[in-house]
Amino acid sequence: MAISTADFRNGKALLIDGKPSLIIEFQHVKPGKGGAFVRTKIRDIRTGRVNDLTFRSGERFEEVHLQSQEMQYLYHDDQSYHFMNKDNFEQITLDAAQVGEAIKWLKENDTATLQYAGSELIAVEAPMFVELEVVTTEPGFKGDTVQGSNKPATLETGAVVQVPTFVEIGDTLRIDTRDGRYITRA
């Protein structure tokens, strides 16, 4: 289905130059001289690259229908990651490029969201917040109470995050996966 620039909304997915893209923001501009146009920030869904594009008012684009599916992360072998549909127990295998950065927040049996544009997998998303155990970090020293001081900690999935100095090996931490930020001890 083709949509016009008048139908642009934040979060709408379009096919631009043969690539599925997402509108981040847009602005209709009506200059005093010349025709109206639309300024947009568009994110390429496959690569994540954000571009500033300008379109003539009334230009038409093909709409992309996005679907999301909850899948359970099962395990990882040499080259691939295995996920299972919780409803019908169907399993799929993805390679590291398809899973992307989400794998550093997923442990076995966690639920991930797979985003599809039509029948093509475009992204794997970890839950917004995860609880992971610290496997290595430097010890905190008594009296080391400088405000805002942090140290690196490696989590059970291999991700490295900055944590306060009081965090020790074996602690379970709540992490925001959008930016890899420590929230609190769990």
What pTM, to 2 d.p., does this model score?
Answer: 0.70
Burial (CB < 10 A; 0-12, 13-18, 19+), residue 113, is: middle
DSSP 130: E
Model confidence pLDDT, tens digit, residues 105-158: 999 999 999 988 777 788 888 999 999 999 999 886 655 555 667 889 999 999
Model confidence pLDDT, tens digit, residues 6-27: 889 888 888 888 888 888 899 9
Rounded Cα–Cα distance for residues 36 and 60 (Å): 14
Structural domains of the chain sorted by starting position, each given as residue range(s) with its CATH number in brackets: 2-63 (2.30.30.30), 66-125 (2.40.50.140), 130-185 (2.40.50.140)
